[in-house]
A and B are shown apart, each in its own frame.
Chain A
Amino acid sequence: MEKKRVMWFLIAIFLISLGIRLYFAFQTPFFDNDQSYFNLRQIQTIMETGFPAYDDGLSFGGRYLIFLPLFHYILAAFSLIFSLDLVAKILPNLFASSIIFIVYLIVQQVTKNKEIALLCSFVSAFIPIYFLNTMNAVTVNSLSLPLSFLILYLFPRVKEGKLLYLFIIVFILSLLSSAITIIVVLSLVVYYFLTKIEKVNLEREEIEVTVFSLLLMLWFYFLVFKRALLAHGLGFIWQNIPTEIISRYFYQISIPQVIYHVGLLPILGAVFVAYVFLFKSKSKQIYLYLSFTITVLILLWIKLLKFDTGLLYLSIGCVILFGIACKQILNYFEKTHLQGYKKLVLVGIFFLVLLTLTFPTLFLALNQEKVEVDLGALGFLEDVSGNVDEGIGVSGNDVDRIVILASPVDGHIITYYTGKETIVDSNFLLIPDIAERITDVRTIFVGQSKVIATKLMEKYGADYIYLSPGALETYEIDNLPYGDEECFPLVYTGQVKIYEKRCSS
């Protein structure tokens, strides 16, 4: 296929993918997960002060945050020109769609077949978990995932003049965007050992780049996460998520779940390639991507990687291996009397992709429950300080200091829209006694005792209880059991219910 034609095809796939993503993203003014609101607040702070809010006075009633800010800075820079709402919808989708080009480059590099590379880039655009998780979310993964695969693409080519510098730049950008770069470096180490086991000689430059990447990553992350490492030790890996809710983030993978999220064809392709290249033949280039997939799979299996994040990386790794599997199938056809039907086979695979991946993904996106945020409730909380006449809030806080008790999934949404303090949100790192806090919040939501609830509210200086549909689902309740006119009157009702604490213990 001509280079120019390939280019047009790629651009078309990119535009189709981006167009569909944006269509779904703009169906709602809100975002899919609470982390989006955390990121938005950080972007806003960068726009206002030039720096992220590492010392966050609102989360957990004031805490120190640790995160890598490159993604936030990029979005903040664009938000200086365009509106933040627009940037937050478009830019993450633009980053996420760029995986199409990277997958094309990688598969083309490994298979030397443009058609297969194009097919894989199309597949990568519609992987269920990747499409759904990055479509309507301000998530760092939309940037860090393409960067990770760009590192893998550049890695075998570092000998080629200036590509070494490009590798270093991309690697540093990836380090600055997400701690997930650890997976890439680990996979390079696995790659080293896999080639040793398979008795395939690595080039000296590849070993040197691996050593350098490992050292740079260790140094950089030790520097950035020093405080968290000292506070949590190895528990840092699990981000201080309390045991009570850790199973929501790190859980045992099952084959049906993986097939559902990644798609059957990429999984079958990956299994086929793993079998062929671990037991039948050898290929140094393929081992690199196989190592990456194996690393992610092992980390998911031993629960060292968040399930959602792990599957995102696993899915793209599988797509690349699927491309290699396609090449193997075509090679097989070349050896038979059916060699003239190669193109037909590819068309067949393309239709299979459409049937088993693209349409189901679009169907899922269409039927995905639209995120609704009760702006009325948030508006009520935003204005709430004006309601207090005495100068002191009900919990003895200053008027300006209104503290809201909500479930962890609502924390970031509340702080983003209202600018008010919350007791918990979903960033648990560096929070002392997190298990106790989570248990206390749970007790307030599900407990039957008004006295205990009042005591616990006072413990955290909380003034209002924010009962969202998410909280009802999380705690499996229908309403606040002890809500009454005297101590916990319902002060706002809508999609969300808000109760005010009026008694003291």
Chain B
Amino acid sequence: MIDYLDKHLRKLTEKQALIVLVCLALLVLVLPTLIRLFFFDGIMVGSESYYHLRMTSLLQNQESISVDPLLSGNRYYLLNPYHYFLAFFGTFVSLEVLSVVFPVLFGLGTVILFYFTLKEFIKNLQTRFLIVLFFVLSPIFVYVFSHQQSTTFFLSLSVLGFFFFTRKGKWPVIGAILLAFMPFFGILHTLFVLTLISIYVSTHRKKIVYLFVYFFLLAIVIGIVLNNYNILFFQRSFFQNLGIIEQTFSDLGSWYGFSLFLLILSSIGLIKSWVKKYDHVLMYLLILIAFIFSSFFDLTYNIYSNFFLCIYAGFGFISLWRMKWGLSQLKKMSLFLLILGLLFSATSTISRVSHYGPSDEMLMSLEWMNENLPEEGVIVTSPEYAYWVHYYAQKKTLVDPEFSQTLRGRAILKDMNVLFDIRRENKAMQFIDKYKIQYFLITPEMKESLVWQREDQGLLFLLENSENFKKLYQDQGIEVWQVLELKSSQ
């Protein structure tokens, strides 16, 4: 295989490289959807996908949204440009179709734009091809572009913006306009892109005027965000309940983790680049910033590190490939193993994404709730399931992952966690009364680790042993409990 790769890499043309990369990216991104189609009755994958779908549907019907009607207490709607984008195209094609097609299209677009942006900086075709190849096989790429999320949209937007920024003529103005949307996705994303653009401009002095254009547009957008939401440090965050090492490696369960083999290759690339460390110092700085952001604030910042690590992995692979080995057989086998390792991480992520909920049994319970529970019922469950409850059961929840990032959302989430831990009936009823909770949706995952560790822990014990609760539904470990006594309703 390595001989084959060696032979074809040497003869590779620009056109062939692009075709191979686009086809591979298409395969990688379409596979999870195909698996869902054949094994899960085509149920759309992911959790956030359903939020965007629901909010866009609302937007299409109401022109503008101020509050989210399915969050108990009617919390204000956090403006997301993606919903407007989706709503616009939704007038021509069904939203369900767009929700599946758009992430793939964004992914393909990002691959092509990344390839052409690299062309500006890396002249060697083989290196560029390998870098983008590693990017396509990276678990973060598979996760981000295989289903609909805010990250899918703003990553494509920032890659497109940066691409325009690196072009000649008036294109950088369009780039500045696109990048100016970043404050809608989080202040730290804005900071990161700002640093990237500043570094780019400082090394390409001609574009300094466009940096001012960018600053100006950015100031306007920040002004709009502040004026409307009064939250400067709003952050669309992603957290997984994992240790620091598990968060780093996708192979250990992290959605925004890196392939171990990609890290090995990029380490080799980084070590090799150290000879010209002063040429690379700004790249090192960007990687460091992304790592700090992802370690302390939000795992999503690994999407930026992923680009840079792929670049160094490309350098690393090329240096191993060109290096003279004493045992040439081992060279071939080692390079082959590296490629197999990268493929392994990609396929493992594809498999995990396609098995990400909602499962058939979850869907059945949600549909049961839709048909059998009153419209105004407030359901408490893990925030992870909130988007599904909203979309399929059409019922209210206390928080969802987006709302839980705000101050009020965090306070409710804290109360909810206290409620989950309570075993004393009167104390639990106080919380239930405070939030007018009527139903609990309990899943096996919640019992196993998501919320509880044992089957008789906290609220689980109370549900089983108190006469104030009645089990309405039970199927394959999924339970729906009703609160029989609400003081305020008495």
Contacts and interface: CB of A to CB of B under 8 A. Distances in A.
A234 B245 CA distance: 8
A230 interface: yes
A436 B330 CA distance: 48
Given A164-B327, A205-B326, A233-B242, A223 B454 contact: no
Nearest to A168: B333
B341 A218 contact: yes
Contact of A208 (B242, B331, B453): B331
B252 A219 contact: no
Contacts of B333: 212, 216
Interface in B335-351: 337-338, 340-341, 344, 348
B421 interface: no
Contacts of A209: 327, 330
A299 B232 CA distance: 48
B451 to A, nearest CB: 13
Contact of A432 (B325, B327, B341, B448): B448
Q: Which of B260, B325, B448 has the most CB of A within 10 A?
A: B325
A436 B452 CA distance: 11
Given A209-B327, A436-B454, A222 B341 contact: yes
Given A204-B325, A219-B337, A222-B251, A212 B330 contact: yes
With most chain A CB atoms within 10 A of its CB, the pick from B327, B330, B449 is B330
A276 interface: no
Contact of A218 (B260, B326, B330, B331): B260
B455 A436 contact: yes
Contacts of A158: 327
A477 interface: no
A226 B251 contact: yes
B261 interface: yes
B246 interface: yes
A164 B352 CA distance: 38
A222 B453 contact: no
A227 to B, nearest CB: 10
B228 interface: no
- The B interface, classified by DSSP as helix, strand, loop or mixed, is helix
A432 B445 CA distance: 10
Interface in A192-238: 203-205, 208-209, 211-212, 215-216, 218-219, 222-223, 226, 229-230, 233-234
B327 A205 contact: yes
B336 to A, nearest CB: 9
B243 A233 contact: yes
A135 to B, nearest CB: 38
A433 B334 contact: no
B341 A164 contact: no
A186 interface: no
Contact of B326 (A204, A432, A436): A204
B261 A208 contact: no
Contacts of B476: none
B334 A211 contact: yes
Contacts of B242: 233
B253 interface: yes
Contact of B334 (A212, A230, A435): A212
Interface in B229-275: 242-243, 245-246, 251-253, 260-261, 264
A234 B252 CA distance: 7
Interface in B297-338: 325-327, 329-331, 333-334, 337-338
B482 to A, nearest CB: 24
B253 A219 contact: no
A388 B93 CA distance: 64
B337 to A, nearest CB: 4
A228 to B, nearest CB: 10
Nearest to A204: B326
A434 to B, nearest CB: 11
Contacts of B337: 212, 215-216, 219
Contacts of A219: 261, 337, 340-341, 344
Contacts of B338: 215
B352 A436 contact: no
B29 to A, nearest CB: 21
B327 A218 contact: no
Contacts of B264: 215, 218
A233 B246 contact: yes
Nearest to A158: B327
A27 to B, nearest CB: 45
A459 B325 CA distance: 60
Nearest to B333: A212
A226 B259 CA distance: 13
Contacts of B448: 432-433
Contacts of A159: 326-327
A233 B341 contact: no
Contacts of B246: 233-234
Interface string A126-165: 0000000000000000000000000000000011000010
A208 B327 contact: yes
Contacts of B329: 164
B212 to A, nearest CB: 47
A203 B252 contact: no
Interface string B173-200: 0000000000000000000000000000
A215 B316 CA distance: 15
B341 to A, nearest CB: 5
B406 to A, nearest CB: 30
A435 to B, nearest CB: 7
Nearest to B328: A208
A215 B251 contact: no
Given A158-B327, A211-B334, A230 B253 contact: yes
Given A208-B331, A230-B252, 12 more contacts: A208-B326, A209-B330, A211-B330, A211-B334, A212-B334, A218-B260, A222-B260, A222-B341, A226-B251, A230-B352, A233-B242, A433-B454
17 contacts: A158-B327, A203-B326, A204-B325, A208-B325, A212-B333, A215-B341, A218-B260, A218-B341, A219-B337, A219-B340, A222-B251, A223-B344, A226-B348, A230-B252, A230-B253, A233-B242, A436-B455
Interface of B: 242-243, 245-246, 251-253, 260-261, 264, 325-327, 329-331, 333-334, 337-338, 340-341, 344, 348, 352, 448-449, 453-455
Interface of A: 158-159, 164, 203-205, 208-209, 211-212, 215-216, 218-219, 222-223, 226, 229-230, 233-234, 432-433, 435-436, 459
* 10 tightest A-B CB contacts, nearest first: A233-B246, A215-B337, A204-B326, A205-B326, A212-B330, A436-B454, A212-B334, A233-B252, A219-B341, A230-B253
